[in-house]
């Protein structure tokens, strides 16, 4: 006999949860009334949007890929991966690896022509990088020249693409033919430079908004990097940034990570009516989750309560072989932890790539009153790159 659900059961189901006039929907709406004056902070893949309640228009701040200098610095960071990737392509039989290598050489040369102190100081003009533009120019020049030279030699002598040789001489810098600055250090530096700019601007903006961190509702939504990444507090770098900016007042249970909820673009706020509609949608999402939280506490107060774990990070030492979470960087000299973070963000699909350089930078900004000139940058602050000629 073919199954056919009795419509009375569906009507009963909808009376509680899914209908516009359901019991659950009524509770969500009433919670909306109770919490209507609480600020709502929505973080998408590229925007911070603060709905301030009380009919005030939202305020926004862009970050990540929408900002000056992101693509420039990230393109240089990628050169630390490009040579090993070319080696692997050759190893598994891709015939076009040498042509791709020659094209990369040509583009590195073109970037060197465009790479000047004035470009970084006057065109990119990132506030957090003020005063270090010349050193950034040196880093970029060194990385491009080294990449061009190494690839050209590897095309003629593929033994340079052996992974053991590359690890010792290109990446770690402890081999007999090691580079002046290992590419591991260069990648740590470029990750940290991007994190310094993004974190400084966002922290400054958040502080200017005078957010009540004990009352704010936070939704982190949309895609940020890989579709599988940033789904937990520990793997989403925005959570640590918000927690530190709040003076550690932001409670975990007030942060919802909702990757399936669509993000917004600045153009979506074309009118007060459009802004109000967007805000209402996000608030419905938050109240929908809040209703079950409040009801669970009222219904089962004598049973064990859920308590989010405190923010912790493992410490990496010389004997550490595996890690399950992003390790803590204790100082600028904690090179093993810094490089371990690079490995983790690539090895764990649940991690955001940008997280590799964020924690140590955010912690320093939080400790020094958000002054980027006081931040120590791994692979950069005390690392000498050959001067651009």
Spell out the domain ranges in the chain.
Answer: 37-262+272-295+336-389
Integer angstrom CA distances of residue 262 from 183, 225, 270, 296: 37, 14, 17, 28
pLDDT reported for residue 65: 58
% of the chain beyond a pLDDT of 90? 59
Q: Is the pLDDT of residue 247 over 90?
A: yes
* Residue 122, number of CB atoms within 10 A of its CB: 10
Q: Which tens digit of pLDDT belongs to each residue from 89-106?
A: 999 999 999 999 999 999
pLDDT reported for residue 270: 80
Q: Which tens digit of pLDDT belongs to each residue from 136-178?
A: 999 999 999 999 999 999 999 999 999 999 999 999 999 999 9
Q: Is the pLDDT of residue 293 over 80?
A: yes
pLDDT reported for residue 66: 60
pLDDT reported for residue 148: 97
Going by pLDDT thresholds of 50, 70 and 90, the confidence category of residue 259 is: confident
pLDDT reported for residue 88: 97
Q: Is the pLDDT of residue 267 over 80?
A: no
Q: Is the pLDDT of residue 308 over 80?
A: no
Q: Which of 202, 239, 210, 198 is nearest to 48 (CA)?
A: 202
Q: How far apart are CA 30 and CA 169, in angstroms?
A: 64
pLDDT reported for residue 52: 87
Q: Is the pLDDT of residue 366 over 90?
A: yes
Going by pLDDT thresholds of 50, 70 and 90, the confidence category of residue 278 is: confident
Q: How far apart are CA 223 and CA 177, in angstroms?
A: 41
Q: Which tens digit of pLDDT belongs to each residue from 204-236?
A: 999 999 999 999 999 998 877 778 888 888 888
Q: Is the pLDDT of residue 269 over 90?
A: no
pLDDT reported for residue 126: 95
Strands, E assignment, 253-306: 255-258
Q: How far apart are CA 87 and CA 73, in angstroms?
A: 23
Strands, E assignment, 53-201: 59-62
The mean per-residue pLDDT over the stretch 95-121 comes to: 97
Which range (130-139, 142-151, 290-299) has the least confidence?
290-299
% of the chain beyond a pLDDT of 70? 99
SS3 17: coil
Which range (152-166, 192-206, 255-269) has the least confidence?
255-269
Q: How far apart are CA 327 and CA 323, in angstroms?
A: 7
195, 345 in Cβ contact below 8 A? no
40-43 and 47-51 beta bridge pairing: antiparallel
Which range (55-59, 108-112, 263-267, 302-306) has the least confidence?
263-267
Mean pLDDT computed over every residue of the chain: 90
Q: Which tens digit of pLDDT belongs to each residue from 40-90?
A: 999 987 889 999 877 788 998 887 656 789 999 999 999 999 999 999 999
Structure tokens at 295: 């009801």
């Amino acid at each position: 006999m073919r199954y056919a659900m009795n419509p009375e059961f569906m009507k009963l189901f909808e009376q509680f949860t899914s209908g516009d006039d359901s019991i659950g929907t009524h509770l969500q709406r009433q919670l909306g009334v109770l919490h209507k004056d609480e600020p709502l902070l929505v973080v998408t893949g590229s925007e911070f949007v603060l709905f301030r309640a009380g009919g005030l228009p939202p305020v926004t701040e862009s970050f990540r890929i929408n900002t000056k200098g992101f693509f420039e610095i990230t393109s240089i960071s990628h050169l630390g991966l490009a040579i090993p990737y070319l080696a692997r392509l050759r190893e598994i039989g891709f015939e076009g690896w040498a042509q791709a290598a020659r094209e990369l050489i040509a583009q590195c040369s073109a970037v060197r022509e465009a790479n000047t102190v004035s470009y970084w100081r006057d065109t990119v003009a990132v506030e957090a990088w003020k005063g270090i533009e010349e050193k950034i120019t040196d880093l970029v020049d060194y990385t491009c020249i080294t990449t061009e030279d190494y690839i050209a030699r590897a095309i003629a002598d593929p033994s340079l693409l052996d992974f053991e040789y590359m690890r010792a001489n290109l990446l770690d810098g402890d081999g007999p033919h090691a580079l002046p600055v290992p590419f591991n250090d260069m990648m740590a530096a470029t990750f940290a430079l991007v994190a310094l700019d993004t974190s400084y601007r966002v922290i400054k903006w958040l502080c200017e908004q005078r957010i009540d961190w004990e009352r704010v509702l936070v939704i982190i939504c949309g895609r940020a990097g890989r579709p599988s990444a940033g789904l937990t507090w520990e793997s989403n770098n925005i959570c640590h940034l918000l927690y530190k900016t709040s003076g550690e007042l932001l409670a975990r249970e007030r942060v919802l990570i909702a990757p399936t909820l669509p993000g917004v673009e600045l153009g979506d706020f074309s009118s007060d009516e459009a802004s109000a509609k967007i805000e209402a949608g996000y608030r419905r999402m938050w109240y929908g989750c809040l209703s079950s939280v409040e009801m669970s506490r009222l219904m089962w107060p004598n049973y064990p309560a859920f308590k989010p774990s405190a923010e912790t990070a493992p410490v990496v030492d010389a004997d550490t072989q595996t890690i399950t979470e992003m390790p803590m960087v204790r100082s600028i000299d904690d090179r093993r932890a810094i490089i371990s973070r690079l490995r983790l963000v690539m090895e764990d699909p649940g991690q955001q790539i940008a997280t590799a350089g964020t924690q140590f930078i955010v912690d320093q900004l939080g400790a020094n009153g958000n002054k980027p000139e006081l931040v120590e940058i791994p692979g950069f602050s005390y690392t000498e790159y050959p001067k651009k000629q």
